[in-house]
Amino acid sequence: MATLIPDNPSQPKPTGLSEKLRGYWEIMRFHKPIGTWLLAAPTVWALVIASDGWPAPMIFAIFAMGIVVMRAAGCVANDLADRNLDGFVARTRQRPLVTGVMTAREALGLLLVLLSIALVLVAFTNSLTVQLSLVGAFLAMIYPYMKRVTHWPQVVLGAAFSWAIPMAFAAVNNSLDPALWWLFAANLLWTVVYDTQYAMVDRDDDLSVGIKSTAILFGTLDRRLIGLMQLAALGCFIKTGSEFDLGWPYLLSIFAVALLFAWHQWLIRHRDEAACFRAFNQSKWIGVIILLGIVGHFWLTPVSAS
């Protein structure tokens, strides 16, 4: 793929208020909500399990707002880190920091505001959750830089997206059930799966600018290694169900996820960019299916089964 010549990001364009507001909207990815879906999924799974099916409204509201704020903060941090590289990648060359609609100083100010809001939100929980939130924020902020030093940035992203799981258990129970780490592992593996599919879309551009990813590391073994991680994720999901005594609705949802995993293997078989992106985009339904299985357990199975 030919290297693209980016617009000059060092000279901000004169912008009107509407264009500036659109830049703020887009840098927080409010126009692309799939990332919010993917972060919300493990968070809500954990809240429902930790609460035996019925999260307290206050806790649920805090985490719902926190999902939106931290996903936005992560996107802003990512664009700040990649502002000198995004112009060379076809998918990202119209981001606000590349086109000059926003300046780096404006983006940094927005990031600090978002992190401050997140801190205020988590302060309404308990000290354990606050302590865990600092680790989560650290993971979210370092992720963009991992693409420069390791071919495994997807693992760091998986840890960042999965960190809401121990936070949810801490907020609900003020303790960490050891079994939660099976759910953590399942979500981490699933994140690496879908983000590797996502990275397959950008593989040629990433190679040209020196960005590292699991898609580049795996090379022609990408489908096989994605398949192994899908199997491992399914195993961890099943172990989660065993540890928390989740019944048939949950097991049925995991079976449905296995079918979707198989479908995604079929989609990416030729490594076509559009098909790989389609597989990534459909991952949001996996989160919904698992949530339905968890909720179904608490709503449809006898109390004694819990």
In this structure, CATH architecture of domain 20-300: Orthogonal Bundle (1.10)
DSSP character string of 94-155:
TSHHHHTSS-HHHHHHHHHHHHHHHHHHHTTS-HHHHHHHHHHHHHHHHHHHHHHH-S-HHH
- Band (pLDDT 50/70/90 cuts) for residue 303 is low
Check residues 34 and 1 and name the one with the higher pLDDT: 34
Stretch 76-94: mean pLDDT, rounded?
Answer: 86
Whether 282 shows a pLDDT value over 60: the answer reads yes
For position 13, what pLDDT does the model report? Answer: 53
Higher-pLDDT residue of 91, 181: 181
Tell me: pLDDT of 291 over 50. Answer: yes
Query: 30-62 pLDDT, tens per residue?
Result: 999 999 999 999 999 999 999 999 999 999 999
163, pLDDT greater than 60? yes
Confidence of residue 15 (pLDDT cuts 50, 70, 90): low
State the chain's mean pLDDT as an integer: 91
Q: Is the pLDDT score of 256 beyond 90?
A: yes
pLDDT for the residue 252: 98
pLDDT tens for 124-153 read 999 999 999 999 999 999 999 998 899 999
What per-residue confidence (pLDDT) applies to 59? 97
CA-to-CA separations, 241 to 189, 248, 286, in angstroms, rounded: 16, 10, 16
Sort 186 into a burial class: Cβ within 10 Å, 0-12 / 13-18 / 19+.
Answer: buried
Assigned token pair, 141? 């902020």
Confidence bin at 302 (pLDDT 50/70/90):
low
pLDDT band at 8 (very low <50, low <70, confident <90, very high): very low
- What's residue 10's pLDDT? 43
